[in-house]
C-alpha cells in the first residue's frame, strides 16, 4: 500500500514513535505498520517488531472492522494479519464473522 510518507516529509512533519513517544518516528514505509486501517510509524526495526508483536499495547482505541464499535484492544483481542495489515477485533464473534465473509481490509477506519 502506498502511504503518505512523501507528503508528510514535504510538510516537514515530525511524528512521535508509536512505541516510544519520546523519540521521533522515521517516516518511511519500512517503519510503518497498519492496524485497523490506521498508520503507525516507529523509530527503528526493533520498535517495529515490538509494535507488530503487541499492537494492543500501542494503538489505543480502535474501531472494530465488523461491528463498527470502538474498543480498547487487549492482548487477548482476536487478531488477523492480512496482506501486511493487522486487524484487531472487539470480540471473537466479530473475528469469526469477518473470516466467514471473506472480507478484506478496506483502508482507513475513519
Query: Residues 23-31: contacts with CB within 8 Å, 24+ apart?
Result: 29/3, 29/5
Domain layout of the chain by residue ranges: 5-101
Predicted confidence at residue 40, as pLDDT, reads 97
pLDDT band (50, 70, 90) for residue 3:
confident
* Residue with the larger pLDDT of the pair 1 and 93: 93
| C-alpha–C-alpha distance, residues 77 and 87, integer Å | 10
Question: What is the pTM for the complete model shown?
Answer: 0.86
Over residues 29-38, the mean pLDDT reads 95
Taking only the tens place, the pLDDT of each residue in 69-104 is: 999 999 999 999 998 899 999 999 999 999 998 766
Predicted confidence at residue 110, as pLDDT, reads 41
| C-alpha–C-alpha distance, residues 10 and 77, integer Å | 36
pLDDT band (50, 70, 90) for residue 105:
low
C-alpha cell at 100: 466467514
Amino acid at each position: 500500500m502506498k502511504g503518505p510518507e512523501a507528503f508528510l516529509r514535504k510538510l516537514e512533519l515530525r511524528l512521535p514513535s508509536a512505541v516510544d513517544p519520546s523519540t521521533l518516528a522515521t517516516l518511511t514505509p519500512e517503519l510503518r505498520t497498519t492496524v485497523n486501517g490506521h498508520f503507525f510509524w516507529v523509530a527503528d526495526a526493533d520498535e517495529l517488531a515490538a509494535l507488530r508483536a503487541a499492537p494492543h499495547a500501542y494503538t489505543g482505541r480502535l474501531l472494530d472492522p465488523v461491528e463498527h464499535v470502538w474498543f480498547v484492544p487487549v492482548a487477548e483481542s482476536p487478531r488477523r494479519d492480512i496482506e501486511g495489515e493487522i486487524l484487531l477485533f472487539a470480540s471473537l464473534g466479530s473475528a469469526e464473522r469477518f473470516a466467514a465473509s471473506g472480507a478484506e481490509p478496506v483502508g482507513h477506519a475513519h
